[in-house]
Amino acid sequence: MKSLRLIQLLVLSNTTKSANQFKFGKNLNLITAKDNSVGKSTLLKLIFWGLGCEPELDTTWNAQDCKTIVDFEVDDKTFRVKRYKNEISIKEGSSDYENFQKITGEYSQKFADIVGFSALLPNQNSGLLETPPPAYYFIPFYIDQKRSWAKAWDNFDRLGQYRNWKSTIVKYHVGLLKPEHFKLESERTDKKESQKNIEYEVGKIDTTLEVIESYVPNSVNTVTTVSAIDKITDNIKKDLESLQKGQEELLHAIAINNSEKSYLYQQQVMTEKLISELDKDYKFSVENIEDDEIECPLCGVVHENSIVNRASIMTDKNQAENQLREIIQSTDKIDKKIASNERQLESIRSQISEINEKYVIEDETESKIDFNQIIESVAGNSIKTKVTRTKNIKNAEIAILQEEIKDLKKEQKSLTTEEETESILNSFNSILSNYVQLLDAEAVNLSEINSPLDYNKVIKEGGAAEGARAILGYYLTIFSMVEKFGNEAKSPLVIDTPNQQEQSFTNYEKIVELLTDDFLDGNQIIMSAMENEQLKPFADKAQIITLDENKLLSKEKFEEVKNSFK
């Protein structure tokens, strides 16, 4: 399979007039230092930040207002990504940069095309499928010091922008969902959207029919109406036909406007509810939570609670309030249209009444014919016939779409056979069991862990130190599964401080030995760790980046690195 290999990271701060350059070897890389708090974790985070992810960077680092360049290669093609704040640019080889004002959207699609990342997730607002940002590609390849050892698949901030994404992303990375699945899912989503739009049109038709029923009398049957019209003289017919046409147009306009008013009312209710919820969110984030993050009690997703995020809530509320004002204004305009149409309709009815007074015509039963009822009945029946015909056509379209959606679902299921699924799950269990044994974490109960989706069970098992080794075994298993069954380019494995929960001398040796020997075969590994004699087997084969008290940035390298950003 093709691989993504990191070449170098350039970091520049115009604020502090300092910079640095970090080059990575093709296989093992060790970022180390004698002391903590010199920037080992930040260096790893900047790699992913520079490529469009949102790792958890502290406010001190953010205050330095840095920009980055990340050079990498995929299948012998070299790429350079330059990022400053949310502005990001990418180029291949010596070509010109393509510039993007945000990470989501076109840049995410561009990056996904490069690494062959085919997963799609539904936009929370529109429901339409879209390519998620690079974080969802890198998430199985990065073990973050603060977050990943206690919670799987939670390595970056802002992952909560998609609901229930973990199942889809996990299944895609390990091969349970193939790229073709998302092509079919995109078709299904488009057809569902079409079905939704048609169903909305049918709803408007039903509203139209209800409005017509309220305006048109039911007392005149069609047969009487037709025979009565035959008795009307040509002159009267001419006048009545004109009035009938006008009445038909007005009834249609009233029906359409009432239907639109009904839709706007629904939108108004939804918007008012959204404003209320956003107001509660803002008050909750300000009054009740002091931390910079909030964990959802329902889904467990950790959401930001920063000043920026609070401001974002207020921005969303202001936008919703503006939308509510527009809805109310639109409703007022429609009310005026309906009132105007009703006045015109009343005028036509008055004209018909005048004809009624001037002419007296009787039907076969010698009953007096009421022209007003005749015209309203003809106009109403004409509209009902037309819209009912349209409704039947729309319902037929919905039935066809429903069958097509079912067929696409069946096709999706056929992409991966039961035998293939069983093979993938058996491989997962076998690989995980092997790593747990090599890491001496066998006290972890694997009988409850049958799928890559059982990551929460892995974390809950065993004591602190043993649990840390078990979750490392899980991450290494996922990496191996991507290597064996995945459909995207294999990313470097990036591990931040594997010596978690005060591992014993022997157990830390086993961790280092596993990463040195079992993963050396063609894989690029970037690991950060404090200087330690147990790291020697890894360090002997690795390209080493040693950080000192100056941390990541150097004033001496500012001018040299600055030239690369031009």
Structural domain boundaries in the chain: 22-56+100-177+418-565, 189-414
- pLDDT for 242 beyond 70: yes
Which residues lie across from 495 on neighbouring strands? 143, 527
pLDDT digits (tens, 9 = 90+) for 512-521: 998 998 776 7
Is residue 221 scored above 80 in pLDDT? no
Most confident of 22-31, 141-150, 340-349, 495-504: 22-31
Least confident of 265-279, 376-390, 407-421: 376-390
Tens-digit pLDDT profile for residues 290-334: 444 444 443 444 444 445 455 666 777 788 888 888 999 988 998
On the question of pLDDT at 390 being above 80, the answer is: yes
- When pLDDT is averaged across residues 438-443 and rounded to a whole number, the result is 83
Going by C-alpha positions, the residue among 57, 421, 426, 370 that lies closest to residue 225 is 370
CA end-to-end distance (rounded Å), the chain:
35
Question: Is the pLDDT reported for residue 405 higher than 50?
Answer: yes
pLDDT at 403 over 70: yes
Residue 357 has what pLDDT? 62
Structural tokens at position 348: 């036509």
- Weakest-pLDDT range from 20-24, 267-271, 558-562: 267-271
pLDDT, residue 139, reads 96
141 exposure class (CB count in 10 Å sphere: 0-12, 13-18, 19+)? buried
The C-alpha atoms of residue 177 and residue 372 are separated, in whole angstroms, by: 65
The pLDDT of residue 447 is above 90: no
pLDDT score recorded for residue 226: 46
Is it the case that residue 495 has pLDDT exceeding 90?
Answer: yes
Among 298-312, 449-463, 480-494, 526-540, name the most confident range. Answer: 480-494
| Dihedral of the alpha carbons of 206, 207, 211, 217, in degrees to the nearest 10 | 20
pTM of the model: 0.74
Confirm or reject CATH 3.90.1150 for domain 22-56+100-177+418-565, answering yes or no. no
Question: Residue 82 — very low, low, confident or very high, per pLDDT cuts 50/70/90?
Answer: very high
Q: What is the pLDDT of residue 462?
A: 58
- 522 falls in which pLDDT band (50, 70, 90)? confident
The answer to whether 196 and 396 have CB atoms below 8 angstroms apart is no
β 142-143/493-496 pair status = parallel
Give the residue among 3, 11, 13, 21 at the shortest CA–CA distance from 545: 21
Pairwise CA distance, residues 500 & 408, whole Å: 46
Q: Is the pLDDT of residue 117 over 90?
A: yes
The whole-number average pLDDT for the span 30-45 is 84
Encoding tokens for residue 52?
């469009």
DSSP symbol at 503: -
Counting other chains too, the contacts that 25-28 makes at CB distance below 8 Å and 24 or more residues apart are 25/524, 25/542, 25/543, 26/524, 27/520, 27/522, 27/523, 27/524, 27/525, 27/541, 27/542, 28/516, 28/520, 28/524, 28/525, 28/527, 28/538, 28/541, 28/542, 28/543
* Portion of the chain with pLDDT greater than 90, in percent: 43
